[in-house]
Structure 1
Amino acid sequence: MHNNDPHASNDAQDGHDDLAAESAPENAELEALQSQLKTLEASHAELRETVLRERAELENQRRRMQRDLEQARRFANEKLLNELLPVYDGLEGGLAVEGGDLASMREGISLTLKALLKVGENNGMVQIDPLGQPLDPERHHAVSMVEAPDKAPGTVVTVLQKGYVLNDRLLRPALVAVAKD
């Protein structure tokens, strides 16, 4: 069953060559696609690593900010309290004095009050003392009206308790008595 026809073997060879010629572009295309796939997979892995690193960095920054914010909250009053220490020391020293006359005690209290007001001013606090000024309902709270013939109606004639403002925000209104109409 051997074919001795010389043309038969050439036809088989030509068929094999045709198959090889047809599959050569397909193989080249397959190799190109596989190469592109490898490149894309490498790029994907690199991008994935970058995303993971960036996520970790964001988490670390969030933790640092949280820690810094907590520290800021815990020590926000440190400057103010350091400024209050001399006032505290002055009061303690005044209490430690045995005897003494009333005038020197008043002087010590006055100096302590001035020191305390200075600490407030250094931290943005301003005292409201509206004596003789017209009533300002935004900053004053009128608790009584009194006869004051020499004052214009609505004028503050007595300050019962001074008010305070912190950086333009009212901490406490001044309690006042005003002249009647």
Structure 2
Amino acid sequence: MSSHPRETDPAVPEHTGPGAQGAVAPSPGDAPRSDPPTGRVPVTDGHPGPGGAGGGPAPSEDEYAAELEELQDRWRRALADLDNLRKRHARELERERTAERSRTAAAFLPVLDNLELALTHAGADPGAIVEGVQAVRDQAVNVLELLGYPRHAETGTAFDPARHEVVGVVQDPDAPPGTVVDVLRPGYGDGERQLRPAAVTVAKRE
């Protein structure tokens, strides 16, 4: 056997080691290309696909119209309910006012009865008329107090602009300045339930 040096192809590199047999080196033109990311979002037709935003196709115009009609119908029903509520409240308020006027008038009927009784007996005993009128006055005052309007005719108290109306200022050495000396017209009620303030004269301030 003669030994001749093996001729090698200069275009094909010689490989040694495991797995070298049959391996072909890739050419420079065969290297995989990796384009740099451009940051652009793929353009779609404007409708989200399955799994995209919205979870499905956009509602149609018929669906929009049906939903709008339902909202308008609910709005009209709400307006009708509000109008019925307003009318019912007005009727109940007027009914309550009528009932309150009737209760107040009924509370004063005994006062009128006693006043007529006192006038009837005034001819037989003129002196009894004074006692009868005083009794009727006390009864009327009691009715007003039961209705929530107590009588105020106190003297010697400090002047209170919320309860008193000054109709005169007098010089009274026995009364401290700014106190009520005389009540010319009683007042009835307190605070927001005041029918009228008491008309008073007040001691002059030094």
Superposition TM-score, scaled by structure 1 size = 0.63
> Secondary structure of 1:76's match?
helix
Give the aligned partner of residue 148 of structure 1. 172
8 Å CA contact 2:151–2:187 kept in 1: the answer is yes
Cα displacement (A) at 1:112: 0.6
Structure index of larger Rg: 2
Q: 1:25-70: per-residue Cα shift (whole Å, max 9, x none)?
A: xxxxxxxxxxxxxxxxx99999998887776655544443332222
> 1:53–1:144: structure 2 CA closer, same or farther, 3 Å change rule?
closer
Q: Which of the two has greater helix per residue?
A: 1
Q: Give the unaligned 5+ runs of structure 2.
A: 1-65
In 2, Cα distance between equivalents of 1:106 and 1:147: 33
Q: Pick 1 or 2: higher relative contact order, CA cutoff 8 A, min separation 6.
A: 1
Alignment length (residue pairs): 148
Counterpart check, 1:175 vs 2:199: yes
In 1, Cα distance between equivalents of 2:76 and 2:169: 71
In 1, Cα distance between equivalents of 2:183 and 2:157: 11
8 Å CA contact 2:181–2:202 kept in 1: the answer is yes
In 2, Cα distance between equivalents of 1:102 and 1:145: 38
RMSD, aligned α-carbons: 3.1
Which residue of 122, 126, 132 corresponds with 2:156? 132
Q: Which of the two has greater strand per residue?
A: 1
Give the aligned partner of residue 99 of structure 1. 123
> 1:45–1:141: structure 2 CA closer, same or farther, 3 Å change rule?
closer
Q: Give the unaligned 5+ runs of structure 1.
A: 1-41
8 Å CA contact 2:162–2:191 kept in 1: the answer is no
Q: How does 1:114-129 map to 2 (within 5 A)?
A: 114-129=138-153
In 2, Cα distance between equivalents of 1:163 and 1:155: 16
Cα displacement (A) at 1:107: 1.1
Counterpart check, 1:74 vs 2:101: no
> Percent identity of the aligned residues?
39
